[in-house]
Structure 1
């Protein structure tokens, strides 16, 4: 009986012994595999000499995460400060929590059309253009204002950061004391240990996106420098270190490049038809040259002539002499009829655009449409940009946009020169503070990355980033750095992918043509990380750019 029970126990133990032996063998094999092919552990990094425990960001729309022409939650989540904070929070780097004033909206607010609130834009693959979603009004921030880290405010100029009267709705929703507090003051109240500062864009960009019609909107260099010194001085005096960004070359943005100056594409038959219909305008202008009412140069600038292929956009230009009074004189002298005088009204200040002039992205939705709103074949064609000048309001001429839908050559040069002036000022102020504060600020130059992405030649990069032609040492240094990255090939290689400087599916800009999409924000974050790793002894892991989305698109 005992033998039988012993056998039973032995047989019962055999499977367990086999399992135990098998597990031991498997553990040995697994350990050998791990020794030969170790699994990646948790990502780690090193903050170097930096204290990143309380990082705050101060800036405008890009800092806020504004993209696709709206501030919406997903855009905020992909703002470069939020991406930076995520990398700062990696084990060993030393970062802390990062709170943003959540807009709490899937689509945000981009404007109003009639009674409809418009939200963020998406790229319509069917229409081949950005189209708005249904939006929501800007709501109050319901979180704890005292725990915020992102102080990015869409539309904020450099002088607004210290202005208690700054009534921007995006600031008022999270201001500690609206009407009394300031953006800078609220940021300083958090006792930051590290900051990113990117202001100055709107001080010239507002002029550019409005077609260069209001020079008074440009912040003067003395005011720019004073505001910059005040903000950076206060941040550094608080004990924080930080990064300051240069301004990018705004004239390269898709907002100014998506629509070409010669966007009127015609076949020969259509060109002939237009020339026949508009030939009378040229005839009147020729007669005015003969009568010494205008010069030959004026005629050459205004002449309308079409051919097969790409043709310049016909545009309304309020900087031209208004020929209305001279047309009236021709009517008074019976040189033209009353009907002819009425037909000449759209051409009193019109001319074809020139190579180098930049139509705005907003012009794209107007070109090719009928100025009278009537698409029927029974009415004369009033095609905007070909028959009726872009910017001329046929139904209400007194409400015309003028030349606010493109940048002419002089306005283009103004944007380039002021951007360079601001960048030279930024470099000088940062250098001055660093000389007194032991290098507290790291200057991050974004211009070389733009030179690379937009495929600039070295010569063009030099002209764009240093209009002083070497007279300003700071601009000369910026130009040298940009030239080194200017490879003449459109696109920027990131993680084996050629990302394009547009809002196409593989682009780095959002559908508004101005603000980066999440991938663009990741590139910006990596420029900052690269600078900190190189200059501050840090080892902060980079953001995986291509793991993030590009634009939002839809089929319809």
Structure 2
């Protein structure tokens, strides 16, 4: 069985960024060596704050706002958060901003989990020999924040859901909040942020209210926050922030299922030669015959039988997956034994396939599937189904898309309601969806399928405007974003805008986000603040 090329198939979708010149690689390595400190701002820039006061900027959010990237929270990632970038821009002469303080983690490598032999794993780096991400072996467990908690500006907490913003229990379950909470067990992220007396804030919460479900392969639907709980938490927290007199920016949620975490591993990631395919087809003849038997006894339809049959060929093959939404055929396999159509031994052999089928292009393996595919005496995803937690089925994709779209509608509705009640625009809504449509080269049909847009003709048109014209003769010519003539890819390749965990942006991605907010501030408040230099930021870290 030729499994040695498996990794090349797993990360085939990185082709747009991973095909790089030696010059690209050399430039990236130089940037990596400069990454220990944030890049300096342009000499003596100036600007103005328009109609907004920026003396106390407060950021509220989850892992993205905190600068979590490469699967860990580490010092250099924090320094390159979009919130810190904004804080730096606000300190430009004439703008009026002051020092932006973050709960510094004081860790070069961060903490991404425990490895073999209780080794502490740090942030992920890209290993070009795979190609794929792998953790460093020099991580550090987070320690308590030693700075002045009363002077903090960034109140972002990795892993926080929107429903956690006013929960005193968060410090008990989330050590990254406990380390800088003003009074762990009593204070909340919202109360701490309000105590900072903000004059301006950014608010980006809600991703984790659907993302946790998706990252876990759609195993636990209870991980999707209910629309009612989402709305209550959003409305109460924004009302409290507006009550301070501060102006603010609230951001929508991106289309989660297009993130590299769900695209780097292909659904047909199993490469085989003809001899191995023939051997496997012989082995699966019993399952396919049993499925035909169930159809012959009218226990399942012929279409259902066809969907579950396993057939291999030379070249790439679909991953064999467990799908919990399929009917459990165990009792019906038992019925075949009762009808003497199969033996008891044959029934035992069918046990792993009670709810299995080959994946289709509508299924999305998660990035962690790469660590288990093809492993084991009976290779996972080939001889036996890969577990549900490693693949987002088509039905689970729909649930994720629906939840995110519902949350975005809720965000827009709450912001509109608060602004209407105030008789003025006290909250500026920044819709990130057009930028993501552009980044991923989405066509108008995919925009509709992913439920982008905010329910109004103008907002949907704005998203489609980024997508229209991207497909020419069936070829995607719009993948990535061009910045000053340089194309930045929607992946975690050296020329990409995502970090190696496949979910969080790298510094260049953060700069794009910061500039999206600055653009909205120019329109809403008339500020004159220079953009962050995207290309001056580093990309991913390469091994």
Question: Structure 1 length normalisation: TM-score?
Answer: 0.85
d(CA) in 1 for partners of 2:234 and 2:67?
22
Residue 314 of structure 1 is aligned with which of 310, 320, 335? 320
CA offsets 1:432-467 (integer angstroms, 9 cap, x no match): 222233212111111111000100012322332358
Residues 1:189 and 1:160: Cα distance change in structure 2 (over 3 Å): same
Q: How does 1:496-515 map to 2 (within 5 A)?
A: 496-515=485-504
User: SS state of the match for residue 450, structure 2?
Assistant: helix
Residue 530 of structure 1 corresponds to 519
User: SS state of the match for residue 229, structure 1?
Assistant: helix
d(CA) in 1 for partners of 2:455 and 2:179?
42
Q: How does 1:50-89 map to 2 (within 5 A)?
A: 50-89=52-91
User: SS state of the match for residue 103, structure 2?
Assistant: coil
d(CA) in 2 for partners of 1:141 and 1:481?
42
CA offsets 1:398-432 (integer angstroms, 9 cap, x no match): xxxxx222222222112112211111111121122
d(CA) in 1 for partners of 2:400 and 2:351?
32
Residue 418 of structure 2 corresponds to 433
RMSD: 1.7
Q: How does 1:87-486 map to 2 (within 5 A)?
A: 87-114=89-116, 115-134=118-137, 135-166=139-170, 167=172, 168-331=174-337, 334-370=340-376, 372=377, 382-391=378-387, 403-437=388-422, 438-466=424-452, 473-474=455-456, 476-486=457-467
CA offsets 1:254-298 (integer angstroms, 9 cap, x no match): 111111112122233332222122222212222232233333122
User: SS state of the match for residue 336, structure 1?
Assistant: coil
Question: Structure 2 length normalisation: TM-score?
Answer: 0.87
User: SS state of the match for residue 244, structure 1?
Assistant: strand
User: SS state of the match for residue 123, structure 2?
Assistant: strand
CA drift of 1:87 comes to 0.7
User: Which of structures 1 and 2 has the larger relative contact order (alpha carbons within 8 angstroms, sep 6+)?
Assistant: 2
CA drift of 1:323 comes to 2.5
Q: How does 1:4-43 map to 2 (within 5 A)?
A: 42-43=44-45
Answer whether contact 2:452 2:463 (CA < 8 A) is retained.
no
Answer whether contact 1:264 1:311 (CA < 8 A) is retained.
yes
d(CA) in 1 for partners of 2:360 and 2:57?
47
Residues 1:418 and 1:477: Cα distance change in structure 2 (over 3 Å): farther
User: Relative to structure 2, which stretch is displaced further, 524-533 or 274-283?
Assistant: 274-283
CA drift of 1:207 comes to 1.2
Unaligned stretches of 5+ residues in structure 2: 1-41, 471-477
Residue 492 of structure 1 corresponds to 481
Answer whether contact 2:433 2:452 (CA < 8 A) is retained.
no
Answer whether contact 1:324 1:348 (CA < 8 A) is retained.
yes
Residues 1:192 and 1:305: Cα distance change in structure 2 (over 3 Å): same
Residue 517 of structure 1 is aligned with which of 492, 506, 511? 506
d(CA) in 1 for partners of 2:198 and 2:113?
34
CA drift of 1:326 comes to 3.3
Aligned positions, number: 489
d(CA) in 2 for partners of 1:86 and 1:365?
39
CA drift of 1:363 comes to 0.9
Unaligned stretches of 5+ residues in structure 1: 1-39, 373-381, 392-402
CA offsets 1:30-87 (integer angstroms, 9 cap, x no match): xxxxxxxxxx962111111111111010000101111111111111010000011111
Residue 542 of structure 2 corresponds to 553
d(CA) in 1 for partners of 2:222 and 2:373?
29
d(CA) in 2 for partners of 1:223 and 1:328?
44
CA drift of 1:202 comes to 0.7
CA drift of 1:329 comes to 4.3
d(CA) in 1 for partners of 2:379 and 2:201?
51
